[in-house]
Amino acid sequence: KAGVTQTPRYLIKTRGQQVTLSCSPISGHRSVSWYQQTPGQGLQFLFEYFSETQRNKGNFPGRFSGRQFSNSRSEMNVSTLELGDSALYLCASSSQIIANTEAFFGQGTRLTVV
Amino acid sequence: AQSVTQLGSHVSVSEGALVLLRCNYSSSVPPYLFWYVQYPNQGLQLLLKYTSAATLVKGINGFEAEFKKSETSFHLTKPSAHMSDAAEYFCAVSEVNAGNMLTFGGGTRLMVKP
């Protein structure tokens, strides 16, 4: 069974640009969550999608957005990039949207903003 | 809002020694609790989770954790450290009615000396 796939693995962008990251969940999983990981702030929840609907949202500015497609694949977009957006972005998929469900993480996309 | 505290951002043990990584959570209602491990340039992998079935939870790779409600703690232990255990460990909580949203502690980097 294939795991969670995130593309691309590495990205370098310039301040002010926008970026789109992609996540393909494990087959059959309908929940996709996104996290930002930085040395200073640690792991922070961005948002969760289930059946194409955003179900939960973390405390991030509106520049961070996401969506989920009918095949459960998800994308997140960051507009008007800032240096502080440099981070490892992790995607996690789960089979259900119940709090005690195991989340399976992808290897992440490392975004560097210069 | 939930918070998770991991005491000690770095822990160093000798190979064969006991591993003890500390985690405390803030909640009047016991949440669901998880321990994840992250190897360099990788995503997170679930070690174990507490879902109220038993206070002593056994996980993969010889790790276990004990839920202590009176101390709001969920410390991770392993009787004998291996070199391959060197990684970063994260404690996380989720709450009922919050979907799969995880709140993570700051992480503890475990170093194993030969």
Cβ contact, residue pair A98, B100, below 8 Å: yes
Q: Does residue A96 surpass a pLDDT of 90?
A: no
Residue corresponding to tokens 């999608």: A49
Average pLDDT over residues B68-87: 95
Average pLDDT over residues B52-62: 89
Residue among A35, A84, A63 nearest B44 (CA): A35
Contacts of B49 in chain A (CB under 8 A): 100, 102
Q: Does residue B44 surpass a pLDDT of 90?
A: yes
Q: Nearest CA to CA, how far is A32 from chain B (Å)?
A: 9
Q: Please tell me the predicted confidence (pLDDT) of residue B6.
A: 97
Q: Taking the C-alpha atoms of B49, B54, B58 and B64 in order, what is their torsion angle to the nearest 10 degrees?
A: 80
Cβ contact, residue pair A31, B51, below 8 Å: no
Residues of B with CB under 8 A from a CB of A: 31-32, 36, 41-46, 49, 51, 90, 92, 94-107
Q: Please tell me the predicted confidence (pLDDT) of residue A1.
A: 67
Give the confidence band of A58 by pLDDT, cuts at 50, 70, 90. very high
Mean pLDDT of all residues belonging to chain A: 95
Residue corresponding to tokens 């006991």: B18
SS3 B61: helix
As beta bridge partners, residue A99 has none
Average pLDDT over residues B92-103: 86
Residue corresponding to tokens 């043990």: B13
pLDDT per residue as tens digits for the range A7-48? 999 999 999 999 999 999 999 999 999 999 999 999 999 999
